[in-house]
Structure 1
Amino acid sequence: MNIKSLLIGSAAALAAVSGAQAADAIVAAEPEPLEYVRVCDAFGTGFFYIPGTETCLKFGGYVRFQTNFGRDAAGTSDWDSFTRAQFEVDTKTDTELGALRGFIGFRGNADSGIGSSTAGTSGNQGSGVFVDQAFIEL
């Protein structure tokens, strides 16, 4: 009888332990979704808030590629290519004195310089990267 009592007691203990584990299931709360990019419509389209601040930021720019074909002074075939890229960063924020704006525009030019028939006609400013425009406005 002692063995029978031991087996029944073990089965009861095992059932109690497994039942307790099922009752203690951990329910993890789902994190609230974070808003990494908030649209800033106070200063027009294309602006978004810098996370953690009330400053609005906008990136812009363009890439231009131009190729010219023609004849040079000697009457032979000639060609020239020119590439320009512009990158702009515009920031705006409201202050007690009004809107504060910071702007910087970088420009990069690359001229093949192969031909001389189009030199100076496309407004080329030589090859290189430079600050085209930068200002702070209040």
Structure 2
Amino acid sequence: MENKYSVSNHFGVYGTVTDNGKILCIHKNAGPYKNRYDLPGGSQENWEGLTETLSREFVEETGYTIKKYSNPRVYDTFVREKGNLNVVHHIMVFYDVELDNNIEKQDLPSCFLDGFNDSDGIARVPFENFNEANSSPLLIN
């Protein structure tokens, strides 16, 4: 049977910060999770280790510096992009993250050397507020 969808792979590293039943999220402004809550994180750059990616992406997307990370785990999901026949096999590494409160939060850059910033800022959202319409699969799976 022929498959009508094209499949691509995406590998990302993400951090979870939880406090009092809320999780630190970003507001996505691009990609398959556009206009949804998502976890801070993203793709590795050349010669970057997993925790280096985690630390860099966290500063870029939240403005916060990581103090400590723990509990690495791996998940995957298939995401169909709306309006086309593309399916993304999203492979994700997660870490629990503790923020460094001794370092002041940085302003979010609007762009980087390789493109744009896909975060429009952060929110601390109660777990029960996540659903398929407002959140990426990273938050509801």
Q: Which category describes the TM-score, using the shorter chain as reference length?
A: under 0.3
TM-score by length of 1: 0.24
Larger radius of gyration: 1
TM-score by length of 2: 0.24
